[in-house]
Structure 1
Amino acid sequence: MKKKLWIASLFSLCLFVACGGDDNKIPTGTGGGEEDGGGTDKPAAVEKPRYVWIDAAGNFERYANSIDNIKEDLKRVKETGFTDIVVDVRPTTGDVLFKSSVGEPLKRIDIWSNEGYKWMERTATWDYLQTFLNEGRKLGLKVNASINTFVGGYLCPYGLGYEGMLYRDASKKKWATVINATGGQVNTMDLQNCEADWGVKFLNPANNEVQEYLLSLLSDLAKYKPDGIILDRCRYDDYGLMSDFSPESRTEFELFIGESVENFPADIMKPGTDIPGKWYKRWNAFRAKTIHDFIIKAHDEVKAISPDTRFGTYVGAWYSTYYTSGVNWASPKYDPSVKGTYASWADSDYKNYGYADHLDFIFLGAYAGVNSIYGQGEWTMEGFCKQGRELLKGDVSFCGGPDVGNGSGWEEGGQSARIGDAVKVCIDNSDGFFVFDLCHIQMFDYWDAFKQSFDTYLKTQE
């Protein structure tokens, strides 16, 4: 399980944002004084939300077939002081844990268990997401649903096998990512060496059929009317700048620049490398625009069905390199093209595809090591959160948070003494707190450490 979640957390991060109407905003702790104008001038303290992520794969063994386990753990979550849960209902296989007219129900996930690495089957027929909604709300918890977005399958290591839509439906191969390999463009479904290419099989964000399919999934999800819907992995493939170089992407890019690319893909990047060609910066802007425009479509799809459901994303807080995923999660008011090394990959147009102003909330994954909690700049939790506020420019509220099961120093547990520091720097420097993942809190028995940290925080609000 730890290996599985290491992969998941390496490429996923969270930031919780609130723009739109005032009723949808996450409290920022800067409320006004008394309404009659009298009394103290000191701003009223506003309690910040605390989220715990519930990864589908990491918690599948415990929850897939047991409502009792869900009830027991959500009660503990509430008692510990969390205010919200984030329930992953579409893991990297691309199958779903909610009722959908287009998505296949999730039947199995590869897990690490006491019995070793194996498939875990779901035999229960009750509605997974609805159960979390019912049981969470009974306890006064807000329930947010998360989906892994541009994914469609998973190739397991160690020869266990594979799962997902891309493996079941050969006609969907054209939806899969095409990478800019040394020997030419290669569809990732042709890379099936489980020792070299195991992991998530991504969909091409520039493929219009892919986008329409995902919008249909979001339409089905919005019918549940969760408190929030969060897009995880709403980005390009883990191959980074090598993706996507499909014919569809070339067509869309040429429409974007208004002319043909004479030498494709070398005029963008030399095959098998990240050596820039003459269209390199425009290509980066095109990819960011592709994700930006999909975010707008997804937001509108959700709001058309459930206006009160907040809409947000989960991203990696390492902005300096996150452009390789084709994502600009900053405010359009932030211009990276004028900042040092950022100018090597961002042109003056890139800022226009920052999507923070189209969200209701955002999670920033401040996934630094256990000895990098305090500090400035990227790769400290404190620095990640401070940088997030600078980049978001007040467009949206956000939550920063750690991954307490993976990364330097967190892998083997035994870090209860550092939980308080992680909570403090993230909640002090952002508009809330989140933690990945519930299974690690269980595994390493961090319950008391989180409760004490939240109790300490709440005392400062009195």
Structure 2
Amino acid sequence: MVSKIRRNAGMSFTFDENANILWVDFLANGKRLADDGEQVNLLENAVDTGVTHLIIDAKVPFGQTTYPSKYGYHVSSWSDGRFSMWKNRDFLEEFLSKAKNYDVKVLANVDVFSEGTTESRDGLAYDKEHWKVTFYNDAVASESNAAEYKDADTIFVNPIHPEVEDHELRIIQEVCTYDLDGVVIDRCRYPNVYGDFSELSRNSFEAYVGEKVSNWPEDIYTINDEKEIEFGPYFPMWTEWRANNIKHFVKKARSVVKQHFPLFADYVGSWYPLYYSEGVNWGSETYRPTLKWTSDTYQVSGLAEQLDFLMTGCYYYDVTRDEAKNNEKPAYWYSVEGAADISLEAINGATPFIASLFLKNYVNDPEQFRKAIRMCKQKSAGVMLFDTVYVEEYQWWNILKEELGKRE
């Protein structure tokens, strides 16, 4: 085995422009990886198939950490005992101690502004009620289940609450004490278009635009009888303000990470024309979109320049733009190719872009999966595969080896 070049010796390296990234979601893989032998199997399979980067969870989408944290709850604390096998254990330490013997880079993922689950009522959001996102109205909160979308169970917290920001940065600082190659952030966003409408957010927004919003929140938008959003006069500046809030946090997180590691990255959805819902402008500061919801100065909120690489979820079964058209999809970017094209347009060369796939989209269709991998590698600086659990379930390691190529 080739010894891994650890971060202390590699602080100056730049991002590999032909990256094969495999995501290891702890919620899906944590029970299996409680076995040391399974951790070794994952590393050996990854290296054998040509994976260059592994992303492992340090903080999961419900706020728990996979390592013992001074500030958050450990995954083994879950009230239903789902990860009790990890009690008094440190996943990051265990996995990284093995990974140092393999020629693969390892980055830790932090799910940022998600801090609880309605399913089991676990998470810091239940101890810190004042952290939670305030929704547009009670009806919306009920429908969205205080989460990302109807029937989701992830609780989000307000990104501009000072205590929230301090907490998330402390978590990132803790993660940076491990022997990693970098940090990835995910869910660094608002849950959806309905949040946050707290008094804190109202005061911040009014300071941003320099005037009082007399008709709150209807001057931001209204919801018609069909439950569709109808933009109000302040909506374009509202989207800019929300995106700037996320950018400001990303800049602070970058400052922490870059003191330790060469790589700081983000994962977002590729559907830029609809991303006002998440409140993130993941494009470049040089990109000037002219969508009906963007302000004339929306580009100031672009955050691509803050990243060493950016992964966008090209999460579609249709691979080509023609397939999306033939299948009567709403737009060309409802395809892997189209999603990559719109990502390239928005990022505008500000940072390397990695097209990303959701493997479950291709269950029982390995040939479409192969096509999707090839499209990602043709259009972007590599491919990100979500998630390891599907590679195992579908027994697709052989496909990865053929499409990614074993490294000598």
Per the normalisation by structure 1, the TM-score is 0.78
Q: Which residue of 1 aligns with 2:375?
A: 425
Query: What amino acid sits opposite 1:391 in the alignment?
Result: A
Matched, 1:434 2:397: no
Correspondent of 1:285 among 232, 235, 240: 240
Q: Aligned runs of 1:13-52 on 2, under 5 Å?
A: 23-28=12-17, 48-52=18-22
Contact 1:419–1:450 (CA under 8 A) maintained in structure 2: no
In structure 2, C-alpha distance between the alignment counterparts of 1:373 and 1:244, rounded to whole Å: 35
Query: Does 1:80 find its partner at 2:28?
Result: no
- Counterpart for residue 231 of structure 2: 276
| 1:222 partner letter | C
2:269 — aligned with what? 316
**Corresponding residue to 1:137 among 100, 112, 122:** 100
**Correspondence 1:52-63 to 2 at 5 A:** 52-63=22-33
Q: 2 CA distance for matches of 1:215 and 1:273? A: 35
| Correspondence for 1:18 | none
Of residues 133, 137, 146, the one that matches 1:177 is 133
Contact 2:146–2:153 (CA under 8 A) maintained in structure 1:
no
Query: 2:196 maps to what in 1?
Result: 244
Deviation of 1:147 (Å): 1.2
- Whichever residue aligns with residue 396 of structure 2, its letter is Y
What corresponds to 1:152 in structure 2?
115
Secondary structure, aligned partner of 1:278: coil
Tell me how far apart the structure 2 counterparts of residues 385 and 82 of structure 1 sit (CA, whole Å): 21
Q: How many residues align?
A: 386
Distance 1:128 1:22 in 2: 24
Q: 2: CA distance between counterparts of 1:27 and 1:142? A: 10
Find the partner of 2:308 among 338, 360, 372: 360
Q: Distance in 2 between matches of 1:381 and 1:196?
A: 25
What is the CA deviation profile of residues 385-415 of structure 1, one whole-angstrom value per residue up to 9, with x for unaligned ones?
222222211110121121111x4xx3xx222
Following superposition, the deviation at residue 206 of structure 1 comes to: 2.1
Distance in 1 (CA, whole Å) between partners of 2:217 and 2:237 is 13
Aligned partner of 1:395: which letter? A
Larger RCO, structures 1/2 (Cα 8 Å, 6+ apart): 1
Task: From the superposition, tell whether residues 164 and 322 of structure 1 become closer, same or farther in structure 2 (CA, over 3 Å).
Answer: same
Question: For residue 396 of structure 2, what is the aligned residue in structure 1?
Answer: 446
337, 349, 360: which one pairs with 2:297? 349
Instruction: Say whether the 8 Å CA contact 1:229–1:309 is kept in structure 2.
Output: no
Deviation of 1:309 after TM superposition, in Å, equals 3.5
CA distance in 1, matches of 2:142, 2:376: 40
Which residue number in structure 2 is paired with residue 5 of structure 1?
none
Superposed, which structure 2 residues align to 1:222-237 within 5 Å?
222-237=176-191
Counterparts in 2 of 1:60 and 1:444: CA distance versus 1, 3 Å: same
Report deviation, 1:451.
Answer: 0.7
Counterpart-to-counterpart distance in 1, 2:235 and 2:249: 22
From 97, 101, 106, the equivalent of 2:75 is 106
Deviations 1:11-62 (A, max 9, x none): xxxxxxxxxx99443243xxxxxxxxxxxxxxxxxxx110100001111220
Q: How far, CA to CA, are the matches of 1:347 and 1:166 in structure 2?
A: 32
User: 1: CA distance between counterparts of 2:190 and 2:117?
Assistant: 15
Q: 2:329 aligns to what?
A: none
**Partner SS for 2:373:** helix
Aligned to 1:382: 337
Please give the per-residue CA displacement for 1:169-214, whole angstroms capped at 9, x wherever unaligned: 1xx111101110266x86999x589x96551000111212211110
Contact 1:153–1:202 at 8 Å: present in 2 too? yes
1:112-131: CA deviation from partner (whole Å, max 9, x where unpaired): xxxxxx93423442320122
Q: Which stretches in structure 2 are left out of the alignment for 5+ residues? A: 1-9, 323-331
8 Å CA contact 2:314, 2:336 repeated in 1: yes
Aligned equivalents of 1:287, 1:300: Cα separation in 2:
21
In structure 2, the residue corresponding to 1:325 is in which secondary structure? coil
CA offset at residue 436 of structure 1?
0.3
Name the Cα RMSD after superposition: 2.6
Q: TM-score, normalised by structure 2?
A: 0.88
Indicate conservation of the 8 Å contact 2:55/2:107, yes or no. Answer: yes
Shift of 1:109: 6.1
Letter in structure 2 aligned against 1:107: S
Name the aligned partner's letter for residue 57 of structure 1.
L
Q: Bigger shift: 139-148 or 101-110?
A: 101-110
Q: Which moved more, 1:389-398 or 1:125-134?
A: 125-134
Q: What is the distance in 2 between the residues matched to 1:322 and 1:137?
A: 38
TM-aligned CA deviation for residue 419 of structure 1: 2.8
Q: What amino acid does structure 2 have at the position aligned with 1:210? A: V
Structure 1, residues 149-169: CA drift from partner, whole Å, max 9, x if none? 10110122xxxx3321123x1
